[in-house]
Amino acid sequence: MNDMHYVGLDVHKKTIAFCIKLIDGKIVEQGTVSTNKNELAAWAKTLPNSCIIAMEATMFTGWIYDFLQPYALEIKVAHPEMLKAIAAGKKKNDKLDAKRIADLLRCDLLPECYMAPTEIRELRRILRYRNLIMRQAIQMKNKISGLLMELGAEYDKKRLHGQKYFYELLENLHDVPQSVINLLKLSRSNLEMFKDSQKKLLLFLQNNPIIQHRVELLKTIPGIGEVTALTWILEIGDPHRFAKNRQAISYCGLCSAQKESAGKSSRGPISKKRNKHLQHVIIEAAKLAPIWNEQLALVRTKEIERGSDFNTATLEVARKLVSYMLSVDKSGCPFEYRGLKKAA
């Protein structure tokens, strides 16, 4: 242990500030290294054999974490929200930040966060890109409707985005500037491109052997579809890191912040410290899941009978949905109804 070296990194786009310390706090070396992979590799080779590296979670952390794996005994990633020691300092610069991270690491006070395996992070990137495409497709749909409303054109809202109806509508539009017709055609072509792209990405994720079995297990829960299952798996990573259901519920942002002092406790609105990608998908799934899941339907009905509004009841359903998915994912067994006779 006396020979262990603790390396703190303050990561930026072009440079990385580093500080290497011993267990007693003695600084061995500190400085700055470029994020160029050749220069970073040359610096990493100079590190002691017995070293632990720590860095703050940023958008650049992923590839640096993977790149430095062969050069350290262990690499830890710190939760940025919980690194209060850095944010609270009067004087703040890259050199001091790296030094403080090294101090937190050697004192075992580093607020470590979960780092998913490389394969899961790569699939997660694809899923989030697919979600971006879907948001753009919705923007195109809204733009088509907006252009028609600007012209005062009458159209069937439910059939507007069907291919056959759309082109028939274009032929029947009279006294419409050609520029608007061109914009409508361009918006439609973009919409079709986005739909085709997201289908290909979704099909690739569904058939991936790394997560395919877990997806099939989660889909045994009535009310859980492919997108919800994929989002859960790729955002959660390892389900066993949650010892209790309430930890997973908190991670999904389905509970409010609690403040307790001098025997008085209060609850605020839904916490903003959450995985926003997972929160959005689960809440949307909770709105429709009671249609197919009898137990979730009872949860929503009971909550409404207590006087809660629809949104509060939906949150309660979402929490129950998280409990189901966590249980199925951890056990590796299909979902089964318990304590309730399933309808024919």
For residues 153 and 173, give the distance between their C-alpha atoms in angstroms, rounded to a whole number.
7
Q: What is the pLDDT of residue 85?
A: 61
Cα 173 to Cα 69, 224, 230, 245, 306, distances in angstroms? 62, 42, 42, 56, 52
At residue 322, what is the residue type? V
Same domain, 86 and 61: yes
Which of 206, 237, 258 marks a domain boundary? 206
Same domain, 224 and 326: yes
| Residue 258 in tokens | 């609690």
Residue 213, pLDDT above cutoff 90: yes
Within 8 A by CB and 6+ apart from 64, the residues are: 9, 11, 16, 35, 40, 55
Which of 49, 82, 106 marks a domain boundary? 106
Same domain, 220 and 200: no
pLDDT above 90 covers what percent of the chain?
69
Same domain, 17 and 80: yes
Could you say which DSSP state residue 86 is in? H
Cα 26 to Cα 1, 10, 43, 88, distances in angstroms? 14, 19, 20, 23
Within 8 A by CB and 6+ apart from 326, the residues are: 239, 242, 245, 248
List pLDDT tens digits, range 19-29: 999 999 999 99
Q: What is the pLDDT of residue 194?
A: 95
Query: SS in 3 state form for 181-227?
Result: HHHHHHHHHHHHHHHHHHHHHHHHHHCCCCCHHHHHHHCCCCCCCHH
Assign 262 a pLDDT band (cuts: 50, 70, 90). low
Residue 330, pLDDT above cutoff 90: yes
Cβ atoms of 99 and 8 within 8 Å: the answer is yes
Q: What is the pLDDT of residue 82?
A: 82
Place of tokens 């500080």: 19
Within 8 A by CB and 6+ apart from 328, the residues are: 217, 218, 220, 221, 334, 335
List pLDDT tens digits, range 36-47: 999 999 999 999
Residue 261, pLDDT above cutoff 50: yes
Q: What is the pLDDT of residue 314?
A: 93
Same domain, 220 and 327: yes
Q: What is the pLDDT of residue 323?
A: 94
For residues 164 and 161, give the distance between their C-alpha atoms in angstroms, rounded to a whole number.
9
Cβ atoms of 229 and 215 within 8 Å: the answer is yes
Query: Region 189-211: what's the mean pLDDT?
Result: 94
Same domain, 86 and 129: no
What is residue 7's three-state secondary structure?
strand
Residue 344, pLDDT above cutoff 90: no
Q: What is the pLDDT of residue 298?
A: 93
List pLDDT tens digits, range 98-109: 999 999 999 998
Cβ atoms of 17 and 98 within 8 Å: the answer is yes
Q: What is the pLDDT of residue 2?
A: 66
186 located within any domain? yes
344 located within any domain? no
Of 88-92, 120-124, 189-193, 327-331, least confident by mean pLDDT is 88-92
341 located within any domain? no
Same domain, 96 and 124: no
Of 10, 190, 176, which Cα lies nearest the Cα of 97?
A: 10
Beta-carbon neighbour count of residue 186 at 10 Å? 12
Q: What is the pLDDT of residue 1?
A: 52
The whole-chain average pLDDT of the chain stands at: 90
- Count Cβ neighbours within 10 Å for each residue of 9-41 and write b for 16 or more, e otherwise: bbbeeeebbbbbbbeeeeeeebeebebeeeebe
Place of tokens 């310390």: 21
Place of tokens 């992923």: 62
Residue 66, pLDDT above cutoff 60: yes
For residues 120 and 210, give the distance between their C-alpha atoms in angstroms, rounded to a whole number.
8
Determine the structural domain holding residue 36 and report its residue range.
5-106
Same domain, 170 and 149: yes
Same domain, 98 and 130: no
Specify the CATH number for the domain of residue 56.
3.30.420.40
Question: How many structural domains comprise the chain?
Answer: 3
Q: Which residue has the higher pLDDT, 16 or 90?
A: 16
List pLDDT tens digits, range 143-177: 999 999 998 888 888 899 998 999 999 888 888 88
Residue 342, pLDDT above cutoff 60: no
pTM of the model: 0.87
At residue 331, what is the residue type? S
Residue 343, pLDDT above cutoff 60: no
For residues 269 and 123, give the distance between their C-alpha atoms in angstroms, rounded to a whole number.
32
Assign 239 a pLDDT band (cuts: 50, 70, 90). very high
